[in-house]
Amino acid sequence: MAGVGSYLPEKVMTNDDLSKIVETSGEWIVQRTGIKRRHIAAEGEYTSDLATAAAQRALQNSGLGPADIDVVILATSTPDNTFPATAVTVQHRLGIHHGFAFDVQAVCSGFVYAMTIADSLIRAGSADTVLVIGAETFSRILDWTDRSTCVLFGDGAGAAVLRAQPVVDGEPEQGILSCHLRSDGVHKDKLYVDGGPSSTQTTGHLRMQGREVFKHAVGMISGVVTDAFAATGTTPDDLAWFIPHQANRRIIEASAEKLGIDMDKVVMTVEGHGNTSAASIPLALDVAVKDGRVKRGDLVMLEAMGGGFTWGSVLLRW
């Protein structure tokens, strides 16, 4: 893990702002989700803009430059266009003209999917240095008349630079230690966008059976986190930090409790970011690295669950 960076659009939308648009209250939103504010991209500000800004900060924090990057992987469900991949735009904007770039679409689990692919490319010797980004403009696919969904999401981007590093005899392995990904399309109608190029030829809007998603979330999250502990011979006590996908405070608290992870070890940013889908984990990781919580050598568990359903965990040593 060479470094991380993130970017949030300037405009902040509070729960009070939302209560002027739909029949809701700050009290309901905070009590049910823990969200107080979210950032919203400006008109003309695209996912590629957010992703490029986050990537530039991650590169700077890594002490690396565009010439060092072999692969750009962008996790997003809100690409600038149907094609080309938004990753290619970001690659170009960063001034990278070698290697390759592509998008990963796994909704809220996009970042753990992208990290898993990056780890595989590095372990296979296909790449030395990979830029992994999660970037979203969910404000563009929300139905702003649907109070059950529009209060939950926000825009943002986070990025991480992964670099090959030999394992040194007698020292603990650094970087990604385990990856566990899952999906099950039987749940695809519980969280989806009701449009697309092949079906409606429109972009569509996000639709969610919130209670149904909630019902499955804790079990699925606990499953892949338990798999990570089992595969690496580690326990919740070994963890320095638990950095979950930031969808809902109650889901995070219930997952931590079920897993036996102390709440003092949980990084929580949902209050100020809302659910930024694939961007939420790298945004939270960047916050915790910047404020000094995550230190070199720390064992850090990432996990996410979202549309598909998709879910997964990544255990890493920072």
Active site residues: 108, 245, 275
251 binds ligand UT7 (CB under 6 A): yes
Which is nearest to 10 in space by CA: 163, 189, 156, 209? 156
Please identify, using beta-carbon distances, which residue of 30 and 240 lies nearer to ligand UT7.
30
Nearest distance, CB of residue 296 and ligand UT7, angstroms? 30
Please identify which residue in the block is written with the tokens 């902040």. 12
* Cα-based distances in Å from 154 to 33, 38, 120, 209, 225: 13, 5, 30, 18, 26
- Could you give the string, one character per residue 112-141, with x where binding to ligand UT7 holds by CB under 6 A and - elsewhere? ------------------------------
Nearest distance, CB of residue 170 and ligand UT7, angstroms? 41
Q: Of the candidates 62, 248, 276, 310, which one interacts with ligand UT7 according to CB under 6 A? A: 248
* Cα-based distances in Å from 97 to 56, 88, 117, 280: 16, 10, 21, 28
Please identify, using beta-carbon distances, which residue of 16 and 173 lies nearer to ligand UT7.
16
Instruction: Give the separation between CA 231 and CA 225, rounded to whole angstroms.
Output: 10
Q: Of the candidates 26, 175, 204, 210, which one interacts with ligand UT7 according to CB under 6 A? A: 210
HSE-up of residue 37 (Cα within 13 Å, Cβ side)? 10
Please identify, using beta-carbon distances, which residue of 208 and 288 lies nearer to ligand UT7.
208
Nearest distance, CB of residue 179 and ligand UT7, angstroms? 19
Q: Of the candidates 2, 51, 151, 179, which one interacts with ligand UT7 according to CB under 6 A? A: 151
Residue of minimal Cβ distance to ligand UT7? 210
Assigned token pair, 311: 């879910």
191 binds ligand UT7 (CB under 6 A): yes
Strand ranges in the chain using DSSP code E only, listed in sequence order: 3-7, 11-14, 37-40, 71-75, 100-104, 129-137, 155-163, 175-183, 191-193, 206-208, 241-244, 299-306, 310-317
Instruction: Give the separation between CA 303 and CA 25, rounded to whole angstroms.
Output: 30
109 binds ligand UT7 (CB under 6 A): no
Interacting residues toward ligand UT7 by CB under 6 A: 24, 28, 32-33, 108, 147-148, 151, 191, 210-211, 213-214, 217, 247-248, 251, 275, 305-306
